[in-house]
Amino acid sequence: MLKLGHRVYEDERPLVMAIVNRTPDSFYDKGATYAEDAAMDRIAQVIEEGADLVDIGGVKAGYGAFVSAEEEIARVGAFVGRVRAAHPDLVISVDTWRCEVARVVLAEGADVLNDAWGGHDPALVDAAAEFDAAIVCTHTGGLGPRTDPHRPAYDDVMAAAIADTTAYAERAIAAGVRKESVIIDPAHDFGKTTFHSLEITRRLGEMTALGYPVLVSLSNKDFVGETLGRAAGERLAGTLAATAVCALAGARIYRVHQVPETRDVVDMVWSIAGRRPPYKAIRGLS
């Protein structure tokens, strides 16, 4: 069972999490949904396209202008409340590492805290527990928020990702977060070289075997771009290839920019793996 805030999933179907950035400077959309109404339109669109949940972010992951907690709250706090009012059944995730932001968005109706920075704020788990929310426990190799890796080195990157994410998960559970609300994420690109991200993709089955639902955030990332020699707007095919590999390994949640393409790839792989029936099969069966 998976519980994401108010929503319980009894089955094992994969979930598509659509990225909605309330930032002026994110690497892929470059501020396209910074304006509140544009972000609302994006949410309506991704729901229509088949997204299961949205991930709202108020701070660009990479380097950029400093964004205070107050500014982050101004970007995402009341906005989450507006989304909740407009879409009462929607599962809302918020991408933040800050406890003070988390408390505001949870009070506004968020279901999931997506902590891309690996538990940098140790009190984040307490906020998740207090509001009976889900939490995404990522691996960054100790990297602080909004910093790029410089010569990261691991004896075994997947072993490190498993050790750190499961330790974070256990800390969350100890703080009172339900086990069925704890998700782990190897965090492609975060604290990793492209070689590391390729390896955790290749070995993702070791992480899904742990029993925690695994989230993968692959969408248009640098490891795709560096692998194929593609700029940010040219990485869809590479992203979908990595998505397919992760789906075959059993990743449960896919954080993406392009919802319909991801939905098709994940559903196709899920069916190849024998976990999902075809949509409507009659060929050779009439």
Partner 1 sequence: MTPPVRSIAVVPDVPALRPEFASIVDPVPELRAAVAAAVASADRVVRLNGSARRTHASPGPFDERAVAFDEHLLAALRGPDIEALHGVDRDLARELWADVEALGELAELLAGHQWTVQVEYDDAPYGVAWWVITYADAVR
Kindly list the catalytic residues. 221, 255
231 binds partner 1 (CB under 8 A): no
The residues, any chain, with a CB within 8 Å of residue 227's CB and separated by 6 or more, are 194, 198, 238
Q: Kindly tell me which of 142 and 278 has the beta carbon lying closer to partner 1.
A: 278
**Angstrom distance (rounded) from CA 213 to CA 12:** 9
Question: Least distance from C-beta 50 to partner 1, angstroms?
Answer: 13
Question: Least distance from C-beta 249 to partner 1, angstroms?
Answer: 23
**Angstrom distance (rounded) from CA 152 to CA 196:** 9
Whether the CB-CB separation of 60 and 112 falls below 8 Å is answered with no
284 binds partner 1 (CB under 8 A): yes
Backbone angles phi, psi at 15, to 5 degrees: -120, 140
Question: Least distance from C-beta 225 to partner 1, angstroms?
Answer: 35
150 binds partner 1 (CB under 8 A): no
Question: Least distance from C-beta 13 to partner 1, angstroms?
Answer: 11
Q: Total number of residues binding partner 1 (CB under 8 A)? A: 10
Question: Least distance from C-beta 35 to partner 1, angstroms?
Answer: 37
Question: Least distance from C-beta 279 to partner 1, angstroms?
Answer: 5
Q: Kindly tell me which of 231 and 286 has the beta carbon lying closer to partner 1.
A: 286
Q: Kindly tell me which of 150 and 280 has the beta carbon lying closer to partner 1.
A: 280
Q: Kindly tell me which of 66 and 279 has the beta carbon lying closer to partner 1.
A: 279
CA-CA-CA-CA torsion for 94, 96, 98, 101, nearest 10 degrees? -40
Q: Kindly tell me which of 231 and 281 has the beta carbon lying closer to partner 1.
A: 281
134 pairs with which residues across the strands?
A: 112
| Residues in region 254-283 near partner 1 by CB under 8 A | 276-282
**Angstrom distance (rounded) from CA 214 to CA 179:** 13
Nearest to 95 by CA among 205, 200, 3, 187: 187
Grouping H, G, I as helix, E, B as strand and the rest as coil, residue 31 is: coil
**Angstrom distance (rounded) from CA 286 to CA 284:** 6
Whether the CB-CB separation of 39 and 29 falls below 8 Å is answered with no
Q: Kindly tell me which of 12 and 234 has the beta carbon lying closer to partner 1.
A: 12
Distance in angstroms between the alpha carbons of the first and the last residue of the chain: 37
User: How far is CA 138 from each of CA 11, 47, 91, 215, 273, rounded to the nearest angstrom?
Assistant: 24, 25, 19, 9, 26
Nearest to 6 by CA among 93, 76, 82: 93
Q: Which residues would be at the binding site for partner 1 (CB under 8 A)? A: 276-282, 284-286
